[in-house]
Amino acid sequence: MHADQLVVNIYLERAIAEFDTNPLSVRLIRRMATELPELFMVAALEYLDSPEESSAHQILTSLMLRHHSVFEEVADPSRGSHRRSVTLFRRLVKVDLSFDVKLARKLPDRSGSNHAEAFDGPRSCRVLDVFDETSVGRRLLPILSHLVDSPDPQIAAKATLFIGRRLQNAEWASRQLNRSDPGARASAVEAIWGLNSPSAQALLEDCVRDESNRVAANALVGLHMLGKPGIVEQVTEMVTASVPTFRSTAAWTMGQIGDAAFVPPLTELLRDEHPEVRSAALRSLLQIRRAEAAAPEAIAVEEPVVPEPVVEEPVSTPEPDVPLIDMDIRLDGKTFATRRKTARIG
């Protein structure tokens, strides 16, 4: 880590620790954000990536909203996991209630006027995933609905799922099934999972016979959610398919349904000759086992045995000499500057 970054991390940590007791902490945090924005951003993100909440976290979030890279931090998959993006997005939209709209306008627009600077495919897909998990209601539909027709098949599939889940309309989903891309059609079927209506059930029953294994699998999951009998048996029959992609899809479907009856066929698929099938079977087995472990009847009633704590002698570490940015460790906010000097921490 660069020395200046290390110093900013140290002072920010101290300022956050003293935030509720030292009124000068806020002044120092704001000055770092103004005078060393890039270093401050890196340091602040270490705190904002967690679900912890405090007044200090709110200040960090509000300062981050002023930074030019704030949208990239949510959208760029190379900067972190989906979970990180969701956590960060929830923080930002809590401070700025219009942040979701601002972020949505970073995706390719309807007219093409922003396509030169709009998010690319991976960033657009990450944003759509974040919206799908966090956005309530139809607030973003006017901005994003055109993306179901995106020439990028991944964006189109993500947008179809996002829009369809909020419309919950079997007729709309049926129109999407006329599309050529199987990903978008599979998303249209997934979007009506849980919709208990005659038209939705009829659509799912038709899709079980779809030529796309993904569309058929999503239809089977949807029918199982509606309580239609015989679905477990239908999925189990897919294990004997001669095409590896259908066996892989069968394994995925078993994990989505989560029935313990799928453990034997999934165990058998672990010995399949194709690695994609084996991987899908293992993931689904783990899903089912985790669900079983989390079930109330699986929780042990006896008190856990707590081992005696082991007391270890503290290990002393020599204080390093590092190049410091000229800031007062007392957080008095008076000597903060970007002039560098060498000093001992402590």
pLDDT at position 144: 97
pLDDT at position 295: 72
Highest mean pLDDT among 80-94, 234-248, 285-299: 80-94
Q: What's the mean pLDDT in 106-124?
A: 95
Q: What's the mean pLDDT in 92-115?
A: 95
CA distance 221 to 287: 15
- pLDDT-wise least confident of 15-24, 77-86, 158-167, 309-318: 309-318
- pLDDT digits over 27-66, tens only? 999 999 999 999 999 999 999 988 888 899 999 999 999 9
- Are the CB atoms for 192 and 168 separated by under 8 Å? yes
pLDDT at position 297: 58
- Residue 215, classified by CB atoms within 10 Å of its CB into exposed (0-12), middle (13-18) or buried (19+), is buried
pLDDT at position 291: 86
Domain extent listing, the chain: 232-294
Examine the pLDDT at 340 and tell me if it is beyond 90. Answer: no
Percent pLDDT > 70 in the chain is 85
> pTM higher than 0.85 for the full model?
no
CA distance 167 to 162: 9
Phi, psi angles (nearest 5°) of residue 50: -100, 160
CA distance 62 to 70: 11
pLDDT at position 305: 45
Confidence band, pLDDT 50/70/90 cuts, at residue 215:
very high
Amino acid identity of 36? L
Confidence band, pLDDT 50/70/90 cuts, at residue 296:
low
E strand or H helix that includes residue 149: none
Over the chain, what is the mean pLDDT? 86
pLDDT at position 52: 83
Examine the pLDDT at 320 and tell me if it is beyond 50. Answer: no
Q: What's the mean pLDDT in 116-120?
A: 95
Q: What's the mean pLDDT in 278-302?
A: 79
135 three-state secondary structure: coil
Amino acid identity of 129? D
**Cα dihedral sign, 159-163-164-170:** negative
Give residue for tokens 């008190």: 303
Q: What's the mean pLDDT in 201-219?
A: 95
pLDDT at position 201: 96
Q: How far is CA 27 from CA 14, 79, 98, 175, 335, in A?
A: 13, 29, 27, 57, 12
The more confidently predicted of residues 301 and 210 is 210
CATH assignment, 232-294? 1.25.10.10
Q: How far is CA 180 from CA 97, 125, 186, 189, 262, in A?
A: 37, 20, 11, 14, 32
Q: What's the mean pLDDT in 227-254?
A: 92
